[in-house]
Structure formats: C-alpha cells, structure tokens
Chain A
Amino acid sequence: EPEVTQTPSHQVTQMGQEVILRCVPISNHLYFYWYRQILGQKVEFLVSFYNNEISEKSEIFDDQFSVERPDGSNFTLKIRSTKLEDSAMYFCASSGTSGTYNEQFFGPGTRLTVL
C-alpha cells in the first residue's frame, strides 16, 4: 500500500542552525501539507502546497520557514534559523484531491530537537 515517508525520523540541531526535513508523498498525489505537534499540544497546521505554490499557510509559518518540491518526488520543509520553540514532531501529508472531504495521508513524522 502506498505511504508517505519522512526522513530523518529524528533530527537534533543547535539553535540558529538551518534544518531541512524531507518527505516523499504518495506518488500520484498533488496536494502536500506540513503539520507539527509540540509535545503535549495539538497537531497544528503549517502550510499546504499545490502546483508549486503555497495554497495556505498559518501564522506559525513565518519567514523562517519555506517549502519546496525540488523534484518530482520530494517535498521539503526548511527552517532557516531554528529556535528552541521549533522543537516538535513535524508531519508531512499528501492528498490526491482537493476539497474539505479529501483524505490526507500522513507520514510517520520527524522529531526535531533544537538544543
């Protein structure tokens, strides 16, 4: 069964460093998303992406964040200069269709720890 994969599973970085989190969405999907969950809090929406453009972004997704689909298979989230409060589990998701009823398929997450 097709699945969303994410690498690495755990990333440790120093405050101020840049990190790139990688995702391989399901191959025929066209809509891509990033979410995060800070420990003990709700899963929060960061950004959605379609046709090489950001469709929607939350207040969390400021200038420190960027997304890219560098080739036909990868979807990346870059944090330019990490802060302690960026420590969280980051989830990538993809869907084959748009709309409120579209099922989003999630990856297993990357746990980011900023020291």
Chain B
Amino acid sequence: ILNVEQSPQSLHVQEGDSTNFTCSFPSSNFYALHWYRWETAKSPEALFVMTLNGDEKKKGRISATLNTKEGYSYLYIKGSQPEDSATYLCALANQAGTALIFGKGTTLSVSS
C-alpha cells in the first residue's frame, strides 16, 4: 500500500518569509507526483506534476523539487503572501494513472 507523508502538518509564517515543506513517499514503484493547492471552500488546484528524478518546476514564487531515489519532494514558497494561505497536498499516481494517493497536507497560514 502506498503511503504518502507530509510535514509539517501546519505552518504559520509572516508575510515575506520564505518557507518549504516536505512530501515523503516510498522510492520504489514511483510513477508521478502531483502537488495541489487547496484553499478553504474552493477546489483543489493543481500546481505541478513531477515525474523525473531531479525535476525542478516553478510557478511564480512557488517551486518544487523531486528526488525519487530517496523518496521526497520539497515545495518552496519564496516571499510568502497572505494569499498563499492554503493547504498544500501532494499525491502519488498509481501505475495506471487511475488514482492519486494523497498525503494529509501541510496547512500554511501567512500573517500580514
């Protein structure tokens, strides 16, 4: 059974701080990793899909890296803003791509 862990569970930072969180997963049988951003009362929004070891992807102030050999991905937010407050979910794709296995998420709160 695939198990995806995320840390920390929650994080509170000040506006302008940079922050990062971790998604850990079994390094065997890796197919793809998805990052989602989920604001309360809204739909989870896809940020990145990562497939290759060493991948680094960026969208504005948010970037992510992937290490499939050791089984982790980092999500970085540079210069956090209050609008970055959300829960960040990572999920592993199964081999067929028919299901995503999610971690519990990291809830980020950014104070102005």
Contact = CB atoms under 8 A, between A and B. Distances in A.
B43 A55 contact: no
A101 B49 contact: yes
Contacts, number: 67
A4 B96 CA distance: 23
B99 A45 contact: yes
Interface of A is mostly: loop
A108 B43 CA distance: 4
B93 A42 contact: no
A55 B51 CA distance: 22
Nearest to A59: B1
27 contacts: A42-B4, A42-B103, A42-B104, A43-B89, A43-B102, A44-B102, A45-B99, A45-B100, A48-B99, A56-B94, A56-B99, A58-B99, A91-B44, A99-B97, A100-B32, A100-B96, A100-B97, A101-B32, A101-B49, A102-B49, A102-B97, A103-B46, A103-B49, A104-B46, A105-B46, A106-B36, A107-B43
Interface of A: 3-4, 33, 35, 41-45, 48, 55-56, 58, 91, 98-109
